Amino acid sequence: MAEFSVICNTRYLSNAFGNRTWDYRFQVPPAFHGLDVFYALYNGGGSVDGVKMDEWLAGDMQRYLTNFAQFGSPNADGLLKWREHGGNKSMATFGIEGLGAEEYEANNKRCAYWQTGKYRTMAKWYKSRKMPNLEFIAWTERILNFLVGLLPK
C-alpha cells in the first residue's frame, strides 16, 4: 500500500516536473511516516517516542528546506550537495549519519504501471493549465489525503 499511495506518487510528481525535483526519504529511527515534520519544525530539545532528536540533522534539514523555499534549490554553502532527481534517478536520504543518497526506490515496474493510469492524466491536466508548482502540490496533497482516507483502518 505504501508503494501505491506514496512511493509511486513521488515518481509521478517527479515525472510531471521533468525530473527537476529533489526527492528524499527520512529514515531516522523510529522512522514513522511524518517524523520528518518534527525535524523540519525543531526548535531545540525534545524526543520522539523516547528517541532524542538530532539537533544537527534538524538544523541541516531546516536549512535545506528553507533554501528550497527561498531559491528553488535546497543547496547552499556549508551543506552537502543534495542532487536533483534528474536523469540519474537519485534520492537523498536523511538518516542518523546525515544526508546521503541512494537509488530511487520508485524506479520499478510496479510504479511504471501506475504511471500509465489516471494519475498520469491528472499531472498532464494540471501542467497544461500552467498551475504554479505550489498550487499543483497543494492539490496533489489534497487528493492523496483523500485516497489515504479511503484505506481501511
pLDDT tens for the 153 residues of the chain, in order? 567 667 888 887 888 888 888 888 899 988 888 889 999 999 988 888 888 899 999 999 999 999 999 998 999 999 999 888 776 678 889 998 888 888 878 888 888 877 776 555 556 666 666 655 555 566 666 666 666 566 555
Nearest to 22 by CA among 80, 56, 65, 77: 65
CA-to-CA separations, 5 to 1, 9, 136, 140, in angstroms, rounded:
6, 7, 17, 12
pLDDT value at position 113? Answer: 76
Q: Please list the alpha-helical segments (H only) found in the chain.
A: 2, 8-16, 35-40, 55-71, 109-115, 118-128, 133-150
Nearest to 98 by CA among 54, 62, 48: 54
pLDDT value at position 140? Answer: 65
Q: What is the DSSP string of 130-145?
A: T--HHHHHHHHHHHHH
Which grid cell sits at 51?
Answer: 528517541
Cβ atoms 69, 22 nearer than 8 A: no
pLDDT value at position 110? Answer: 81
